[in-house]
Amino acid sequence: MKSKNYFWIVILLLISVPALAQITGPGQPIVNAGTTYTYSYTQSALVSPNWQVSGGTKIGETYNYANYTVTVTWGAGPNGGLALLDNGIPAATLSITINPPLAPPVATAGTSVTPTSFTANWNAVTGATEYWLDVSTSSSFSSFTTYRSWGALSYSVTGLVANTTYYYRARGATNQGEGPNSNTITVNTPPVAPVASAATGFYMTYFTANWAASTGATSYRLDVSTASNFSSFVTGYNNLSVSGTSAFVHKCRRS
């Protein structure tokens, strides 16, 4: 009997399946509670698209051909997620970790105040990696300048105007967003120091002290001393409040 040999030919068909498009957007995969972000998905048109959100509130969405977006305000966490469904089947998903909300820092009094600068100060906020500082001449912060502090709890604000009232507030932040504003601190920059000029009217135990006017000043403080470093003062002439740009000084001893 003649034997038969059988040969089997196996044909492997390699089918290339394109990777699913990803949901993209800022603040992923970690966000701060209370932050709002818009996410998008771009792929071929879906038949019946529908965004699903967990751990947050959907506040807006768009469904355009091959371009779908959703805007979400994230809740308290700790977990959240997005899913874009097509006829009830997930076309793409994204898991989100929600950090606890940042507390507002406590701003403290400004220090090192000069006519053109001061140092703003505030307390640390748990979880914050940086801080933002707003400085304004308006108590309502209708306009302001913002400065960034990389983890430090103070910031030297310069380039200010003498004899002006400033307000500042701070807030903590992470890579995922900013926290609420602190309380508001008021700082008054003093007038520019007047330029003293030579005394006049010397006679026996008195003379007239003179100085140039300082813009914005409504009064002046006068010190008189027999020591060049003002380690002591002539009686009655230590931080004496005077008006105008001259003052009569008496009770001075003769040299």
Spans of all domains in the chain: 30-99, 107-188, 196-249
In this predicted structure, what is the pLDDT of residue 20? 56
- Residue 62 sits at φ, ψ, to 5 deg, of -135, 150
Q: What distance in Å separates the CA atoms of residue 142 and residue 235, rounded to the nearest whole number?
A: 48
- Between CA 157 and CA 54 the distance in angstroms is 43
Give me the residues of the chain with pLDDT under 50, please: 7-18, 255
Q: What is the model's pLDDT at position 14?
A: 46
In this chain, the answer to whether the domains covering 30-99 and 107-188 adopt an identical fold is yes
Report residue 221: phi and psi, to 5°. -115, 130
pTM of this prediction? 0.66
At 126, list the tokens: 């748990």
3-class secondary-structure state, position 113: strand
pLDDT of the residue at 11: 47
**Residues in CB range of 71: below 8 A, 6 or more apart:** 36, 37, 38, 39, 58, 59, 60, 61
pLDDT for the residue 26: 80
Q: What CATH number was assigned to the domain covering residues 107-188? A: 2.60.40.10
Q: What are the Cα distances from residue 188, in Å, to 119, 222, 244? A: 12, 21, 22
* pLDDT in the model for residue 104: 96
Architecture label for domain 30-99: Sandwich (2.60)
Q: Whole-angstrom Cα distance, residue 39 to residue 198?
A: 71
